[in-house]
Amino acid sequence: MKKFLLALGIGFICLFILNSEFKATEAALASNVIRFHVLANSDEEIDQKLKLKVRDAVIKEASSMFDNNGDINMARCTVLDNLENIKKIAKDEIEKNGFNYDVDVSLGQSQFPTKNYGEIVLPAGSYEALKIEIGKAEGQNWWCVFFPPLCFVDESCVSYSSEAADKIKNAVGSENAKLLNTEAEAKVKIKFKAYEMWQSGKEKIEYLLK
């Protein structure tokens, strides 16, 4: 029994350290990136294809929107100043494909899962995001990073910018950047999974205590 309690105590200490470590990384990322979140009208194949076309159109048109030397505050102002323009790009693409869905474009907080983007892997959490909701917005999501512009459309495929990945790593600092490096991807994924389980457990406890 004593061994079990000791192991349990050590486990909680490790999880607490892990939680603190990822909280720092998540906070550093949240203050330095703007994510990109596109929601399809439904999970029907035709709506999912439309979602990707809207995604491509917005990424392509927005590729020259940001100053390469700009910071997150400048990027946020740029996005806010261009919300109507981005909405028009999305709406034009929707109509071009024969649909008349409404589209809502906003900048706010969104929940993201752990995602791998080429050279880096970003932890799950709440991030500031440009959100595009097509029609009823009841379909599967698509996620990327809008600033620094990590994703770009190349020959109709979405690729990842190494330059933007380096900018993200520099922005969050060397210690936090270690957790984003996919060179140790397997270990990183295990850590992220443990972090997600810890977050889920905390949320359940908080819910029960309400």
| C-alpha closest to that of 121 among 59, 29, 27, 201 | 29
In a domain, 8, yes or no: no
Reported as a single tens digit per residue, the pLDDT across 135-144 is 999 998 887 8
Average pLDDT, the chain: 75
What's the pLDDT score for residue 141? Answer: 81
The pTM of this model reads: 0.72
Q: Which residues of the chain have pLDDT under 50?
A: 4-9, 11-18, 184-188, 190-192, 202-209
Quickly list H helices, 31-173.
45-62, 72-81, 83-96, 162-172
Residues in the chain: 210
Q: Determine the Cα–Cα distance for residues 122 and 29; give it in Å rounded to an integer.
A: 8
In a domain, 204, yes or no: yes
In a domain, 2, yes or no: no
In a domain, 54, yes or no: yes
State how many domains the chain has.
1
Q: Please provide residue 6's backbone torsions phi and psi, each rounded to the nearest 5 degrees.
A: -65, -45
In a domain, 112, yes or no: yes
In a domain, 123, yes or no: yes
Q: Are the beta carbons of 144 and 132 closer than 8 angstroms?
A: no
In a domain, 202, yes or no: yes
Range of the domain at 102: 21-209
Reported as a single tens digit per residue, the pLDDT across 27-71 is 677 778 888 899 999 999 999 999 999 998 998 887 777 766 578
In a domain, 7, yes or no: no
